[in-house]
């Protein structure tokens, strides 16, 4: 009888009780890169939780695609259910499958394309509002801009000024739950701390706003062209739609994913362009040649390959979704190692997107790498900014469309100049945030007066 397969090795340096938590907390991204360099599957212990980092695309493919039914969301992600409820990010099993099927028609390619005009107009209003030489935090600006866009797409005019309340409340709860401390040490949530009070108040605000919008729209019989209207009208095979609470959970998840992740991608894109003026000049030249004196629409995207390459390369270097977690719900094996039931598995876009086997000079910003068919030649999980498998981000096409249109629109009116040349200090939480304001100066671009609003959009 052959001996049982070994467990994956645990990285050295674990302390009593804390394990690797202190080293991880000091530099999460560097810690994961060092862990990945130690082998194909290597373990870490964060307080009471032991987890294993997967590095190889084929192992990730098994967990997220071919054997995805053996795994569900990890403990940290499930802990977000205290805020997000049973939305697509946190739910499992039949609940997730039913919700995914009900939401899918609202994210069909043709539906998403129809928002291109709104995206361009919002970005153009923002760019026209800037004063020459004005100094601002571009991350804060992109958060406000994507907030306006997602509020329009999700709710049309029903949220209005309260969209800012939702954004602020989400910011509070992401800050409280995003670093995983409460999952590792659940007793922290019950202490009489100001941060806990702020978190409870924020969740109450989210319930008040989002449930209020759902109930008001339902009371007037639905109607409208936004995503909320489509979700209210959606029914499963048994003729059942989403309840008010289910609607709240999905809207909160979509609001967070559709607002924050795209704002981060745009912020990092402008940082990279400011540091690489030759790339910015090529991007501006492409826009001038394709758009003439109009703003971009969905119909232009196929003729803006370099703009798309800039976004893809930004998502490679600074993926807003920087890690994915799963838990084995039955014993299995990976790469010759035994994976017991309950094992926590981590998968990191930050790590895989910097693998020199697939991305030569991985730390360099090289949008050209995406112009020669790289996407088709890569293993499926060498590059996966939106996750993958059945649980790939449902809003990935919305996000790519928005990022490309907003980037092209703003650059038609302004240049963005980074005022501090030091490396970005990053804060890995639920998303990959900048730790400090990203201070820029906005300067006029050539010929801004020639621009006019888009005249059409894809159906």
Q: What's the chain's average pLDDT? A: 88
Residue 458 lies in a domain: no
pLDDT in tens, 275-310: 999 999 999 999 989 988 888 988 898 899 999 999
According to the model, what pLDDT value does residue 158 have?
57
Mean pLDDT of 31-37: 97
Stretch among 178-182, 390-394, 416-420 having the lowest mean pLDDT: 178-182
Where is average pLDDT lowest: 150-159, 274-283, 312-321? Answer: 150-159
Lowest mean pLDDT among 276-285, 292-301, 351-360, 447-456: 447-456
Same domain, 60 and 157: no
Last residue of a domain, one of 331, 352, 373: 352
The predicted pLDDT at position 238 comes to 86
420 in a domain, yes or no?
A: yes
* CB of 456 closer than 8 Å to CB of 121: no
Domain boundary among 309, 337, 352: 352
Shared domain check, 79 and 136: no
Total domains present in the chain: 2
> Do residues 190 and 230 both lie within one domain?
yes
455 in a structural domain: no
Residues 364 and 407 in one domain: yes
250 and 329 together in one domain: no
Say yes or no to pLDDT of 182 above 90.
no
| Domain that residue 343 falls in | 1-85+322-352
CA distances (Å), origin 277, targets 127, 273, 372, 404, 406: 19, 6, 22, 18, 19
Residue 222 included in any domain:
yes
Instruction: Pick 224 or 194 by higher pLDDT.
Output: 194
Q: How confident is the model at residue 449 (pLDDT cuts 50, 70, 90)?
A: very low
Q: Are residues 192 and 327 in the same domain?
A: no
Residues 183 and 329 in one domain: no
Residues 6+ apart with CB under 8 A from 8: 39, 41, 42, 43, 52, 337, 339
- Residue 9's contacts (CB-CB under 8 Å, 6 or more residues apart) are 38, 39, 42, 43
What pLDDT, on the 0 to 100 scale, is given for residue 91? Answer: 87
105 plus 206 within the same structural domain: yes
Task: Say if residue 43 is in the same domain as residue 135.
Answer: no
Q: What percent of the chain has pLDDT over 90?
A: 53
Whichever domain contains 167, its CATH number is 1.10.630.10
Domain annotation covers residue 459:
no
Task: Give the percent of the chain with pLDDT over 70.
Answer: 92
Q: What does the pLDDT average to over 303-326?
A: 96
Task: State mean pLDDT over 174-191.
Answer: 68
Q: Does residue 184 surpass a pLDDT of 90?
A: no
| Average pLDDT, integer, range 333-355 | 96
374-403: per-residue pLDDT in tens?
999 999 999 999 999 999 998 899 999 999
Q: Evaluate if residue 457 carries a pLDDT over 50.
A: no
**Is the domain of 275 the same as that of 340?**
no
- Please tell me the distance from the alpha carbon of residue 85 to that of residue 70, in angstroms, as a whole number: 23
Residue 456 placed within a domain: no
pLDDT at 455: 44
Q: Last residue of some domain: 311, 334, 352?
A: 352
pLDDT-derived band of residue 111, with 50, 70 and 90 as boundaries?
Answer: confident
Q: In angstroms, rounded to a whole number, what is the distance separating the alpha carbons of residues 126 and 142?
A: 10
Does residue 391 fall inside a structural domain?
A: yes
The mean pLDDT of 267-271, rounded to a whole number, is: 98
Q: Say whether both 4 and 59 belong to one domain.
A: yes
- Lowest-confidence range among 26-30, 175-179, 297-301? 175-179
pLDDT at position 255, please?
77
DSSP 342-395: T-EEEE-HHHHTT-TTTSSSTTS--GGGGSSSHHHHS-TTTS-TT--GGGS-TT
Instruction: Identify which has the larger pLDDT, 158 or 268.
Output: 268
What mean pLDDT do residues 449-456 have? Answer: 48
Separation of alpha carbons 265 and 319, rounded Å: 7
Q: Do both 23 and 108 map to the same domain?
A: no
pLDDT tens digit sequence for 43-83: 999 988 899 999 999 999 999 999 999 999 998 888 777 77
Q: What is the pLDDT of residue 1?
A: 55
Residue 203 has pLDDT above 90, yes or no: no
When pLDDT is averaged across residues 242-251 and rounded to a whole number, the result is 88
- Which string of DSSP letters, residue by residue, matches 68-128? GGGEEE-HHHHHTHHHHTTSTTT--HHHHHHHHHHHGGGG-HHHHHTTHHHHHHHHHHHHH
Render pLDDT for 325-342 as a digit per residue (tens, 0 to 9): 999 999 999 999 999 999
Residue 199 lies in a domain: yes
Between 219 and 347, whose confidence is greater?
347
The pLDDT score that the predictor gives to residue 458 is: 35
């Amino acid at each position: 009888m052959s001996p049982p397969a070994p467990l994956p090795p645990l990285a050295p340096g674990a302390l009593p009780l804390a394990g690797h938590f202190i080293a991880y907390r000091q530099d999460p991204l560097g810690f994961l890169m060092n862990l990945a360099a130690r082998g194909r599957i290597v373990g870490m212990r964060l307080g009471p939780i032991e987890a294993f980092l997967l590095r190889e695309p084929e192992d990730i493919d098994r967990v997220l695609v071919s054997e995805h039914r053996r795994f569900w969301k990890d403990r940290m992600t499930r802990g977000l259910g205290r805020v997000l409820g049973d939305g697509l990010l946190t739910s499992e099993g039949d609940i997730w499958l039913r919700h995914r099927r009900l939401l899918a028609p609202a994210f069909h390619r043709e539906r998403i394309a129809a928002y291109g005009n709104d995206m361009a107009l919002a970005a153009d209003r923002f760019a026209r509002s800037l004063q020459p030489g004005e100094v601002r935090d571009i991350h804060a600006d992109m958060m406000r801009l994507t907030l306006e866009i997602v509020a329009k797409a999700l709710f049309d005019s029903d949220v209005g000024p309260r969209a800012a309340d939702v954004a602020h409340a989400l910011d509070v709860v992401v800050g409280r739950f995003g670093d995983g401390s409460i999952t590792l040490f659940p007793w922290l949530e019950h202490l009489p701390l100001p941060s806990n009070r702020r978190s409870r108040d924020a969740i109450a605000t989210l319930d008040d706003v989002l449930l209020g919008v759902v109930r008001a729209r339902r009371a007037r019989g639905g109607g409208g062209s936004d995503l909320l209207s489509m979700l209210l009208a959606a029914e499963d095979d048994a003729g059942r739609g989403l309840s008010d609470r289910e609607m709240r959970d999905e809207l909160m998840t979509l609001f967070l994913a559709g607002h924050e992740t795209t704002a981060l991608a745009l912020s990092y894109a402008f940082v990279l362009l400011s540091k690489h003026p030759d790339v910015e000049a090529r991007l501006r030249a492409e826009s001038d040649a394709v758009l003439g004196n109009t703003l971009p629409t969905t119909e232009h995207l196929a003729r803006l390959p370099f703009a798309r390459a800039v976004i893809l390369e930004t998502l490679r270097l600074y993926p807003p979704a920087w890690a994915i977690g799963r838990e084995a719900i039955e014993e299995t094996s990976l790469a010759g190692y035994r994976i017991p039931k309950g094992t926590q598995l981590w998968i990191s876009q930050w790590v895989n997107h910097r693998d020199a086997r697939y991305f030569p000079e991985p730390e360099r910003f090289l949008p050209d790498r995406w112009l020669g068919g790289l996407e088709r030649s890569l293993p499926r999980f060498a590059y996966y900014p939106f996750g993958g498998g059945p649980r790939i981000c449902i809003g990935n096409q919305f996000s790519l469309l928005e990022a490309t249109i907003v980037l092209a629109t703003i650059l038609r009116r302004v240049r963005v100049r980074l005022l501090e040349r030091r490396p970005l200090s990053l804060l890995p939480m639920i998303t990959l945030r900048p730790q400090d304001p990203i201070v820029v100066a906005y300067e006029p671009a050539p010929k801004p007066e020639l621009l006019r609003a888009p005249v059409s959009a894809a159906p």
